Amino acid sequence: MISKSGVRAAVRTLDVFETFKEQKRPLSLNGIADEINAPISACHEIVKLRDRGYLYLVNSRSFYPTGRDYCLRSGDCRERPNRIPPGATGETVILGKLQNDHVMYLAIEEGLQTTRYSASVGNSTETS
């Protein structure tokens, strides 16, 4: 059985994604708390979605979704909105953002070549 606090956390998490959809811009922790009308302490837990690849840190204070939630719902990251336009070279293009000691993949356009590097939105890799 799910506890009341577990249900409340799930509802707040959905509220966060709905807020990003409405606002269409990065939000700080305070901004998220204000938008979903929740205590900032509850939002500290929600932004841990960053560790799961669902949010990324745009700058030192603002968060934004990676698109991984769309991939989860649709089962196909190639058809998600806001994808990179196909390149003229047919090569794989990966857009990423450095997050502490790793890179978070934000958008991927698969190349036409048979030998290519493949990645998924929301995955990350360590930098050296």
The DSSP symbol for 2 reads -
Residue 117 Cα to chain centre, angstroms: 21
What local confidence, expressed as pLDDT, does residue 112 receive? Answer: 73
CB 66 within 8 A of CB 122: yes
Strand order in the sheet with 102-109: 93-99, 102-109, 124-126
Sorted by where each starts, the structural domains of the chain and their CATH numbers stand as 1-65 (1.10.10.10), 67-128 (no CATH)
Across 33-42, 85-94, 113-122, the highest mean pLDDT is recorded for 33-42
Residue 32 has pLDDT above 90, yes or no: yes
Tens-digit pLDDT profile for residues 72-93: 665 666 555 555 665 566 777 7
Region 97-111: mean pLDDT is 79
pTM for this entry: 0.63
Q: Where are the beta strands (DSSP E) in 1-128?
A: 27-28, 55-57, 62-65, 93-99, 102-109, 124-126
Tens-digit pLDDT profile for residues 15-28: 998 999 899 999 99
Q: What is the mean pLDDT of the chain?
A: 78
